[in-house]
């Protein structure tokens, strides 16, 4: 934790606040558009992003990010697919809206990075300008949030998406598995990756490092710094 400069900590906090808050908002907004009143009842169809955070999950995100890896959670979006116009596919759209929102944010941060980086080259003054650092982390963190949430283990978005693609009976057993074991399997994957495979970046980085690096290059025009 002591290796992280104050400026870096501020950048991480800003990007995570927007990345996770807008992710949860996207879930709620699409569910609301599909006819589900549940997010609105809980006051979650709002761009007041503080409504989309859960205190303990937020503290975990900040502390673990400063320690070198991020784990935490926002306030899960309240959705009831039974109240949607087309329960199966409207729910699929509401779930995938979260990761797609992070991908869209990464694209916006990428544009900002290109502009701020070009300006910094035109007027070098020593050190990395704050806006360059902010937009750089904006791209990386949102790409990580996008792919991380696609892991098909509960409670992440990926387990709902995979289940919705399965026939009814396998879907039932898949969701039951995730209710009972999925969260523990996810935690074991995360911490096991950090403990046993840290030198190589971990299992998760082995899975997602290549696509994240590829998208980073597309969005920023620069080679990935990892």
How many CA atoms does the CB half-sphere of 226 hold within 13 Å?
A: 22
pTM of this structure: 0.89
**pLDDT score recorded for residue 5:** 72
Average pLDDT, the chain: 86
Does residue 226 form part of some domain? no
Q: Which of the following is catalytic: 24, 54, 137, 168?
A: 24
**pLDDT score recorded for residue 7:** 82
| Mean pLDDT along residues 206-226 | 89
pLDDT in tens, 3-28: 667 788 788 888 988 999 999 999 99
Residue 138 domain boundaries: 6-220
**pLDDT score recorded for residue 43:** 95
Q: Of 106, 112, 150, which is closest to residue 132 (Cα–Cα)?
A: 112
Q: What is the band of 200 on the pLDDT scale with cuts at 50, 70, 90?
A: very low
Residue 137 pLDDT > 80: yes
Does residue 15 form part of some domain? yes
Q: Which residue has the tokens 């035109």?
A: 122
Q: Of 52, 149, 48, 70, which is closest to residue 103 (Cα–Cα)?
A: 149
Q: What is the DSSP string of 91-152?
A: HHHHHHHHHHHHHHHHHHHHHHHHHHHHHHHHS--SS--HHHHHHHHHHHHHHHHHHHTTSS
| Mean pLDDT along residues 32-37 | 97
| Mean pLDDT along residues 164-190 | 90
Active site residue 7: no
Rounded CA separation 81/77 (Å)? 12
Does residue 13 form part of some domain? yes
Rounded CA separation 105/150 (Å)? 16
Does residue 28 form part of some domain? yes
**pLDDT score recorded for residue 146:** 94
Count of positions (residues) in the chain: 226
Residue 38 pLDDT > 90: yes
Q: What is the band of 31 on the pLDDT scale with cuts at 50, 70, 90?
A: very high
Residue 204 pLDDT > 70: no
CA torsion 22-25-30-34 (nearest 10°) is: 180
Q: Are 76 and 159 in contact (CB under 8 A)?
A: no
**pLDDT score recorded for residue 199:** 47
Does residue 225 form part of some domain? no
Does residue 65 form part of some domain? yes
Rounded CA separation 36/96 (Å)? 16
- How many domains, in total, are found in the chain? 1
């Amino acid at each position: 934790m002591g290796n992280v400069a104050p400026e870096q900590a501020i950048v991480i906090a800003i990007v995570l606040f927007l990345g996770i808050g807008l992710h949860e908002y996207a879930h709620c907004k699409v569910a609301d558009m599909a006819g589900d009143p549940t997010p609105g009842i809980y006051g979650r169809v709002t761009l007041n992003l503080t409504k989309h955070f859960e205190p303990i999950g937020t503290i975990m995100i900040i502390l673990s990010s400063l320690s070198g890896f991020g784990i935490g959670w926002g306030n899960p979006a309240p959705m009831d697919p039974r109240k949607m116009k087309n329960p199966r596919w409207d729910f699929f759209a509401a779930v995938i809206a979260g990761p797609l929102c992070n991908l869209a944010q990464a694209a916006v941060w990428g544009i900002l990075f290109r502009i701020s980086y070009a300006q910094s080259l035109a007027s070098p003054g020593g050190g990395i300008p704050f806006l360059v650092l902010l937009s750089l982390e904006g791209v990386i963190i949102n790409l990580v949030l996008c792919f991380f949430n696609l892991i098909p283990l509960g409670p992440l978005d990926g387990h709902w998406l995979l289940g919705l693609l399965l026939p009814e009976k396998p879907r039932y057993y898949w969701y039951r598995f995730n209710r009972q074991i999925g969260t523990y399997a996810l935690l074991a994957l995360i911490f096991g990756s950090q403990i046993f495979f840290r030198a190589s970046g971990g299992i998760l980085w082995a899975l997602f490092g290549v696509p994240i690096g590829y998208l980073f290059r597309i969005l920023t025009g620069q080679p990935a710094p990892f």
